[in-house]
Amino acid sequence: MTMKLNLLLAAALTLGLAGAALASEEESGTFEPKHPQQQQWVWEGVFGKFDRQQLQRGYQVYKEVCAACHGMHLLSFRNLSQPGGPEFTEAQMKAIAASFQVPTIDDNGEAAQRPGTPADRFPAPYPNEKAARAANGNALPPDLSVIIKARHDGSNYTYSLLTGYTDAPSDFSLLPGLNYNPYFAGHQIAMPAPLVSDGQVTWPEGNPAATKDQMAKDVVAFLTWASEPKLEERKELGVKVMIFLIALSALLYLAYRRLWRDVDH
């Protein structure tokens, strides 16, 4: 009897704590993120491919808006001119690499800086994690090399996050130093809105207007390519394999009909 009473008390205590936790969660503004806005991306589908101009614009948005806080340590400058990506010319790629200063060691063994080369990886914006946290209110900006693959529905999620910043509702308790974004878990994010106005990035003539929406789509395209640089190659191989299998199936069927045509069933 005592054991049953103890079990009942333990269950009641557990339920009470769970209810208190849920109430505390609701009061603190910890809510489920909104479902990402679904966009039509040119690289989707069996025959989808990246838009080269869009990838180049997306790289520019990354460089001018995102690179101050977010690195892409898996990318090398030479990747920017390889097939399937932005496909900058060799001269453009080398100029981009040279515009960055990368760490090196001089002849005296001292730390120094030098212009980047095609073989160099994208330099990190901070020397280490502690420096990154110190500069961002103890929040660590994630590396963006594979951020699209690391998030569920990554392309749509990232686009929604970039364009989803808004003022917090009057009944929402926003913590100091955080920003309201309904697409982020808990609706509170340390990163301020990176895209703050139209025309934030200047593109060459012949490109679409640099609206916040267009800049968000373009940088998402670039990040998607960075997360899956062999996407086009993989799709082309898949189509070739399917054509081969269809042709092989047809040949096997014809061979079957020829070999067994005189056999009574």
All structural domains of the chain with their residue ranges: 28-75+122-245
Checking if the pLDDT of 101 tops 70, the result is yes
CB 195 within 8 A of CB 75: no
**Residue 163 contacts by C-beta under 8 Å, 6 or more apart in sequence?**
37, 195, 212, 213, 216
Q: What is the pLDDT of residue 229?
A: 93
Give me the percent of the chain exceeding a pLDDT of 70: 87
Q: Which two tokens stand for residue 7?
A: 């079990």
Q: Which two tokens stand for residue 242?
A: 């399917």
Checking if the pLDDT of 113 tops 60, the result is yes
- pLDDT bin (cut points 50, 70, 90) of residue 264 is low
Q: What is the CATH number of domain 28-75+122-245?
A: 1.10.760.10
Checking if the pLDDT of 254 tops 50, the result is yes
Count the neighbouring beta carbons within 10 Å of the beta carbon of residue 60: 22
CA 61 to chain CA centroid, Å, is: 14
What average pLDDT does range 27-33 have in this prediction? 62
- pLDDT bin (cut points 50, 70, 90) of residue 30 is low
- Residue 88 and residue 92: Cα distance in Å, rounded? 6
pLDDT in tens, 158-207: 999 999 999 999 989 999 999 999 999 999 999 999 999 999 999 988 99
